[in-house]
Amino acid sequence: NAGVTQTPKFRVLKTGQSMTLLCAQDMNHEYMYWYRQDPGMGLRLIHYSVGEGTTAKGEVPDGYNVSRLKKQNFLLGLESAAPSQTSVYFCASTLGGELFFGEGSRLTVL
Amino acid sequence: DAKTTQPNSMESNEEEPVHLPCNHSTISGTDYIHWYRQLPSQGPEYVIHGLTSNVNNRMASLAIAEDRKSSTLILHRATLRDAAVYYCIRTGNTGKLIFGQGTTLQVKP
């Protein structure tokens, strides 16, 4: 039981490049979330999913897309990375109670 | 999906109790109150959650006001390892979980 796993853990991109962050959970959780956290700030919700095949916008969805084709995976995509997207990204999942977080993915956009 | 309101920062002395307040005046009847904490350079970790009754676990206690418009996280004996940012969030049935700015707790030796 690995919990919530994020890949990659670190990535450096150039402006305009694209990339996908993968979040995988092996706890059969319905709900999954992508947050970003900028230095000295709290977590802000980007997108979330309440079940396989469903996604919804959070507080700061612009510049990101997501997909939940399989229940255990929640992908976060950046189509054209911008320096403002430099941040630490956290994925989380839950059945409806305790939130389980991944270790975070540090993304730098130059 | 309103955010909760917490003080920006609090200080405590080691081995003393700490009471961290949270206001959630627009909470609905089915919203749970969750507390998470985040140590430096780590992801958030679960502390405790409750609906109406006070709750206790090995980490902390959660006291929920009778009208449910506020709650208090209680650390019974603060240690240096409890220095962290503490987040109070309300979880409703929409699935949308919004974190506020949290309270930065400093623990003095």
The pLDDT tens digits for A67-87 are 999 999 999 999 999 999 999
Tokens of A34: 């992508």
- Give contacts of B43 with chain A, Cβ < 8 Å: 90, 101-104
User: At CA A41, angle to CA B59 and CA B101, rounded to 5?
Assistant: 55
pLDDT band at A96 (very low <50, low <70, confident <90, very high): confident
The beta-carbon neighbor of A31 closest among B34, B43, B95 is B95
d(CA B103, CA A42): 10
pLDDT in tens, B40-51: 888 899 999 999
Mean pLDDT for the stretch of residues B105-109: 96
pLDDT in tens, A38-65: 988 889 999 999 999 999 999 999 999 9
The mean predicted confidence, pLDDT, of chain A is 95
pLDDT above 60 for B1: no
Rounded to a whole number of angstroms, the distance from the CA of A38 to the nearest CA of chain B is 12
**Nearest residue in A to B34, CA atom:** A98
pLDDT above 80 for A1: no
The confidence score (pLDDT) of residue A54 equals: 95
Residue with tokens 């839950």: A94
| CB B73, CB B35: distance < 8 Å | yes
Q: Is B4 helix (H, G, I), strand (E, B) or coil?
A: coil
The confidence score (pLDDT) of residue B92 equals: 75
pLDDT above 60 for B31: yes
For the CA atoms of A90, A94, A98, A100, the dihedral, rounded to the nearest 10 degrees, stands at -30
The confidence score (pLDDT) of residue A98 equals: 87
